[in-house]
Amino acid sequence: MAAVSFPPPPTIVDAPAPSSSKQSAFSAAVSPLANAYNRFSSWRASLGLPGPGTVENLGKEAKQALATNFLLDGARADMTKVLSVEPAFQVTHSFQLASQSMPSSYNLATVFATQDTFMQGNVDNEGNVTMRFNKGWSPSHTSKVQGQFSTTPGHNMLQLEHDYLGSDYSLNAKAINLSPTDGTGMYVGSYLQSVTKNLAIGSEVLYQNAGPGMADFSTSWLAKLSASDKSWIGTAQVQAMGILQASYWHKLSEKVEAAAELQLIAAPSRRDAIATVGAKYDLRMSQLRAQIDSTGKVGMVLEQKIAPTFMFTISGELDHFKNAAKIGVGVMIESSSLTPEEMGMVPQPGSVPL
């Protein structure tokens, strides 16, 4: 880093003489601290560090480019009804069947979103409900509630979360399944700070209190290295137990992204590692993701847009060493009760009947 000179301390104009000598003693004691703080914060602002993004989104670019989270198993149909655009209101009915690992299911999802509020609810055919509620108080403060309510006891979850985005750092606090009567629950605090224009480092502290005498602390360290023009991003997370997660994402061109992920467990009881390499192509009417990992699994997902409201997905995964395969097909139909004008779309010239 280049040598940075401290800017001259900002001149502090003293308020008209304080009435009592006690107050002036107090301000005399505090002013060096306030002065130092002012100098520190103006020095910090002069560095012009970028916001590092949130800890939750660390490695998100790589996850979006890899096929792992987009693989389908069996057949799936999603029917989305867009009922309003501003504010956004959608109802989605989705059906899933013929999966190798999960029974057939039906899912109803509703989403309502305005500029600062986001509400989502999801219910499946067994009556399990998941909910999400986000509220943005200001551009830098966001509160989130996430819940899962199940008909089988013991599967309920409630997570309260608050995000704060500073100019060059981000803070996040989470409380999961907290109980106000005995203090049990899981608490997570994380902090990510930009150190230079390209490097951000941070830490995540997890405190788990499962009952008297069963409290547990664990810390993990995070780092994010990115190019000045955001054309590539590398992230790493090291946990105290000897778990390393690293990701690398590179935008090769407007339409091609490549990504790699490494997960390494080096605990005394278990040593394991898995690496995944993949690419994503954004074509005019389709998106193609392909990947291969170190266990010999080859996966591919093709999302083909046949019409603006109709998308067809085909996915496959081949495990050569276990001689297993998984394939999936999906259709997504989006219907709307709105006219194109109401949705804020200009009708395409080609679709005008002559």
Partner 1 sequence: MPSEETKERIIRAIDIGRTVLHYGWIPFVIYIGYTRSNPQPSLIKLMSPLA
Q: Which residues bind partner 1 (CB under 8 A)?
A: 79, 81, 83-84, 86-87, 89, 91, 93, 108, 110-112, 114, 119-123, 129, 131, 147, 149, 156, 158, 179-181, 337-338, 342
At 134, is the secondary structure helix, strand, or coil?
strand
Burial of 244 (0-12, 13-18, 19+ CB in 10 A): middle
Which CB sits closer to partner 1, 180 or 213? Answer: 180
Residue number with CB closer to partner 1 (179 or 228): 179
Beta bridge partners of 251: 257
* Min separation Cβ 161 and partner 1, Å: 16
Residue 339: CB atoms within 10 A of its CB come to 9
Using the minimum distance from each CB to partner 1, give the nearer residue, 302 or 332.
Answer: 332
- C-alpha 305/C-alpha 217 separation (Å) is 48
Shortest Å distance, C-beta 113 to partner 1: 9
The structure tokens listed for 215 are: 């409290």
Minimum CB separation of residue 57 from partner 1 in Å reads: 25
The span from the CA of 310 to the CA of 4, in Å, is: 56
Report the sign of the C-alpha dihedral through residues 96, 102, 103, 106, in that order.
negative
Half-sphere exposure of 238 (CA within 13 A, CB side): 8
Kindly state the smallest distance separating residue 245's Cβ from partner 1, in Å. Answer: 33
The distance of closest approach from Cβ of residue 152 to partner 1 in the complex, given in angstroms and rounded to an integer, is 12
Minimum CB distance to partner 1, residue 91 (Å): 7
Expressed in angstroms, the distance from the first to the final Cα of the chain is 65
Yes or no: say if 224 and 52 are a contact pair by the CB < 8 Å rule: yes
> C-beta of 89: minimal distance to partner 1 in Å?
4
Q: Which positions ≥6 away from 20 have C-beta within 8 Å? A: none
* Residue 262 · residue 246 · CB < 8 Å: yes
- C-alpha 103/C-alpha 109 separation (Å) is 19
Cβ of residue 354: shortest distance to partner 1, in angstroms? 30
Residues 51 and 55: their CA atoms lie apart, in Å, by 12
Query: Of 254, 250, 255, 176, which Cα lies nearest the Cα of 210?
Result: 176
Nearer to partner 1 (CB atom), residue 50 or residue 121: 121
Considering beta carbons, is residue 105 or 122 the nearer one to partner 1? 122
User: With respect to partner 1, which residue has the nearer C-beta, 215 or 283?
Assistant: 215
Nearer to partner 1, 73 or 124 (CB): 124
Q: Report the residue number, 133 or 169, with the smaller CB distance to partner 1.
A: 133
